[in-house]
A and B are shown apart, each in its own frame.
Chain A
Amino acid sequence: MTPAADVSIVSTGTANLASVVAAFGRIGLRAVIARTPDDVRRARRVVLPGVGAFGAAREQLRQSGMDTVLLERLQAKEPMLMICLGMQLLARTSEESGLVGGFGVIPNVVRKLPAGVRLPQIGWNRVEPAEGMQFVQPGYAYFANSYCFTEGAASWLAASSEHGRPFIAAFERGTQLACQFHPELSGAWGEGLLARWSAAC
């Protein structure tokens, strides 16, 4: 990668990155794939995407040495966007893989969505931001998940949604934004969110 990149997307080995790259391209930003810890260290804006399983993604980040540098960025409150599983990796741990810990930046446990609703949750759901959120606005976002945060966390503002139970749709803290939904697939609403976050970083 070159220092001139606008956005650096962390390769987790399991995620589909093309949609994220394309979404930033549509708002005029050049996104590249960050493959090494040094790529992440030099980056201006870092995106941690993720589909797949919690345990496998965590292991991949550990093997590539990405976990240390990502945790440093998180603790230093440098600009980061975390998407779907990328958001869940902030947790202490997840019901999806009980023995594997996350970054622990948010001390909660990621829970499975409850019985009685379709799983995975696939589709567009209403998002309601807390007062004072700078990036997330009310609207509809595209979700594809079976697990989620169910409780707020100190020092993070939270947007909420509902599928069988209320859950956290997004967390914000300064220029760090974590989305359970996929902003890169959430139409004009998602494009606006990416543009606001990029402009602030």
Chain B
Amino acid sequence: MLTRRIIPCLDTRDGRVVKGRQFRDLRDAGSPGGLAAAYDLSGADELVLLDVSATPDGRAHALDTVREVRATLRIPLTVGGGVRSIADAEALLNAGADKVGVNTAAIERPDLVTELATRFGRQCVTVAIDAARDGDRAWRVFSHSGANATARDAVEWAMEVEQRGAGEILLTSIDRDGTRSGFDLELVAAVSERIRLPVIASGGARTAEDFFDAIAAGADAVLAASMFHDGDTTVSEVKQYLASRGVEIRP
């Protein structure tokens, strides 16, 4: 049986790991290579590397960071941040990424999702959706690392990118991101009920119980950054807790 995945996320800028509070006030949290190896050993099922500064600043990809992480990492690596073209994705894959994350560029030009899926296979294409509440059980999609509101509804956008060839959805609640107040469970449920793709829940994790709740709401995987970087809990502790609640995990 397919197990639920625990995915630490390294938000990087200029080759360092940072993590913000609601995408603002970024602060420094360590070197990517060292953290990646530590997470692999502690039982992480995958690793996500997001260059949070890439889109607003038009910064070049941290290809050296990807190479450094790949050399030691024995689990899948998804890399996102500023991917705008087939060439951007190919450079990341050649450096050692296994999947690429697209966000703003897909919103601006949805054909990019189809092109990436055709070229690399849909399992290579993770569409990241940053969503904030906009009324009762409605969420609006934001672009540019949460800076710009779009006209898109998050659930409808998830359904559209599924049709266009996405392989999975990385769903981040902007309202919860960095707040440690738990995942937006209604958002997780609303999206995962309407698509067949795997959904990675992100934004707001504080405790192992939060992970259980996100999985119960329909998430196939859960992603967290600050709660792991700061050592509040470890991946292996979260997995032990989930196993004790009857969730299938990779021991």
**Contact: A51 with B2, CB < 8 Å?**
no
Query: Is the CB–CB distance between A22 and B167 below 8 Å?
Result: no
B3–A52 CB distance below 8 A: no
Is the pair B198, A18 in contact by a Cβ cutoff of 8 Å?
Answer: no
Chain B residues whose C-beta falls within 8 Å of the C-beta of A142 in the assembled complex: 45, 75-76
Of B13-21, B26-34, B90-98, which stretch is located at the interface? Answer: B90-98
Query: Of A16, A125, A191, which contacts B120 at CB under 8 A?
Result: A16
Interface residues on A, range: 35 or more
Residue of A nearest to B218 (CB): A118
Residues of B within 8 A of A185 (CB): 74-76, 98
For B147, the chain A residues whose CB sits under 8 A away are: none
**Residue B59 lies at the interface, judged by CB distance under 8 Å to chain A:** no
A26 proximity list for chain B (CB < 8 A): 71-72, 74
Q: Is the CB of B2 within 8 A of A145?
A: no
Query: Is B1 close to A, CB under 8 A?
Result: yes
- A contact face: mostly helix, strand, loop, or mixed: mixed
Question: Please, which residues of chain B bring their CB within 8 A of the CB of A122?
Answer: 123, 167-168, 198, 220
Most chain A CB atoms below 10 A, which of B94, B122, B250:
B250
* B96 engages A18 (CB within 8 Å): yes
Encode A158-186 as 1/0 by CB contact (under 8 A) with B: 00001100000000000000000010011
Q: Report if A22-B71 is in contact (Cβ < 8 Å); known contacts: A16-B120, A124-B3, A124-B250.
A: yes
Complexed CA–CA distance, A145 and B120 (Å): 13
Q: Which residues of A contact B220 (CB under 8 A)?
A: 118, 122-123
Given contacts A16-B124, A118-B198, A144-B123, A124 and B45 within 8 Å (CB-CB): yes
Distance in Å from the Cβ of B16 to the closest Cβ of chain A? Answer: 22
In the complex, chain B residues whose CB is within 8 Å of the CB of A100? none
State whether B197 touches A118 (Cβ < 8 A): yes
Does B121 interact with chain A (Cβ within 8 Å)? Answer: yes
Q: Determine if B106 is an interface residue (Cβ-Cβ < 8 Å).
A: no
**Contact at B120–A14, with CB atoms within 8 Å?**
yes
In the complex the two chains form, is A119's CB within 8 Å of B196's CB?
yes
**CB neighbours of B140 from chain A (8 A):** none
The residue of chain B having its C-beta at the shortest distance from the C-beta of A139 within the complex is B250
Closest approach, in angstroms, between the C-beta of A116 and any C-beta of chain B?
Answer: 9
**Count: A-B pairs, CB below 8 Å:** 107
Q: Which residues of B contact A137 (CB under 8 A)?
A: none
Known: A18-B70, A22-B96. A123 touches B124 (CB 8 A): no
Q: Which residues of B contact A22 (CB under 8 A)?
A: 70-71, 96
Instruction: Answer yes or no: A64 CB below 8 A from chain B CBs.
Output: no
The CA-CA distance from A110 to B95 in the complex, in Å, is: 31
Q: Are the C-beta atoms of A16 and B93 separated by less than 8 Å?
A: yes
Asked if A65 is an interface residue, CB under 8 A from chain B, the answer is no
What is the CB-to-nearest-CB distance from A42 to chain B, in angstroms, rounded to a whole number? 24
Q: CB-CB < 8 A to B3: which residues of A?
A: 123-126, 140
Please give, as numbers and ranges, the residues of chain A lying within 8 Å of B251 by CB-CB distance: 140
In the bound complex, CA of A163 to CA of B198 (Å) = 13
In the complex, chain A residues whose CB is within 8 Å of the CB of B153: none
Pick from B2, B97, B121, B198: contact of A53, CB below 8 A. B121
Given known contacts A16-B97, A191-B74, A120 and B120 CB-to-CB distance under 8 angstroms? no
Nearest B residue to A191, CB-CB? B74
- Most A CB atoms within 10 A — which of B123, B198, B251? B123
State whether the Cβ of A25 lies closer than 8 Å to any Cβ in chain B.
Answer: yes
- Which residues in chain B, 1-43, are within 8 Å of chain A measured between CB atoms? 1-5, 40
Interface status of A121 (Cβ within 8 A of chain B): yes
Q: Does B221 contact A (CB under 8 A)?
A: yes
B95 contacts which chain A residues (CB < 8 A)? 18
> Which A residues are in CB contact (< 8 Å) with B97?
16, 18
Given known pairs A14-B119, A51-B120, the reply for A118 and B74 (CB within 8 Å) is no
A residues near B (Cβ < 8 Å) are: 14, 16-19, 22-23, 25-26, 51-53, 85, 117-126, 140, 142-146, 162-163, 182, 185-188, 190-191
Provide a sorted-by-A list of 17 A–B residue pairs whose CB atoms are within 8 angstroms: A14-B121, A16-B97, A16-B120, A16-B124, A18-B93, A19-B77, A19-B96, A53-B121, A118-B2, A121-B2, A122-B168, A124-B3, A124-B250, A142-B45, A142-B76, A185-B75, A190-B74
